[in-house]
């Protein structure tokens, strides 16, 4: 029965974006491990905010942990060519799924003004 519920309701993580600004140069796919995530510290270089992104568990049946949701967001951002993510406060991350039934994160995809050499 649970398998049927997962098939109908979805059991993974969805990631989507809303474009904000044109990037300062062509964006190229990156290694997900190279995507820096900033929470309280300002990025070290001038940047453009390119897109607002959100990753969220597909349903209450999802077995994805908060770490898995964050990794999906990071992988998506890398595939789109982001240099880093600025994580927003007030997201629905965490491990207490009773209080956050669709755990997720919101972040801004940023592209540095000048590419790394």
Residue 59 to residues 32, 79, 105, Cα–Cα distance (Å): 25, 24, 15
Please give the mean pLDDT across all residues of the chain: 79
What percentage of the chain reaches a pLDDT higher than 70? 70
Q: What is the pLDDT of residues 38-84, one digit of tens each?
A: 999 999 999 999 999 988 766 656 666 777 778 889 999 999 999 99
DSSP structure string for 39-73: SSSPPSS-EEEEEEEEEEESSTT----HHHHHHHH
What percentage of the chain reaches a pLDDT higher than 90? 48
Residue 106 has pLDDT above 80, yes or no: yes
The per-residue pLDDT for 11 is 66
Q: Which residue has the higher pLDDT, 64 or 22?
A: 22
The per-residue pLDDT for 98 is 40
Q: What is the pLDDT of residues 80-99, one digit of tens each?
A: 999 999 988 655 544 444 44
Domain regions of the chain by residue span: 2-112
Residue 73 to residues 40, 45, 117, Cα–Cα distance (Å): 18, 22, 25
According to DSSP, the β-strands at 104-112 and 13-19 are: unpaired
């Amino acid at each position: 029965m649970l398998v049927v519920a997962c098939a109908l309701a979805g059991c993974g993580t969805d990631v989507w974006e809303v474009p904000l600004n044109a990037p300062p140069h062509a964006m190229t796919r990156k290694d997900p491990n190279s995507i820096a995530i900033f929470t309280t510290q300002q990025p070290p270089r001038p940047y453009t905010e390119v897109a607002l992104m959100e990753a969220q568990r597909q349903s209450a049946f999802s077995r994805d942990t908060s770490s898995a949701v964050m990794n999906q967001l990071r992988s998506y951002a890398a595939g789109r060519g982001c240099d880093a993510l600025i994580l927003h406060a007030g997201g629905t991350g965490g491990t207490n799924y009773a209080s956050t039934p669709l755990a997720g994160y919101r972040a801004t995809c940023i592209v540095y003004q000048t590419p790394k050499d």
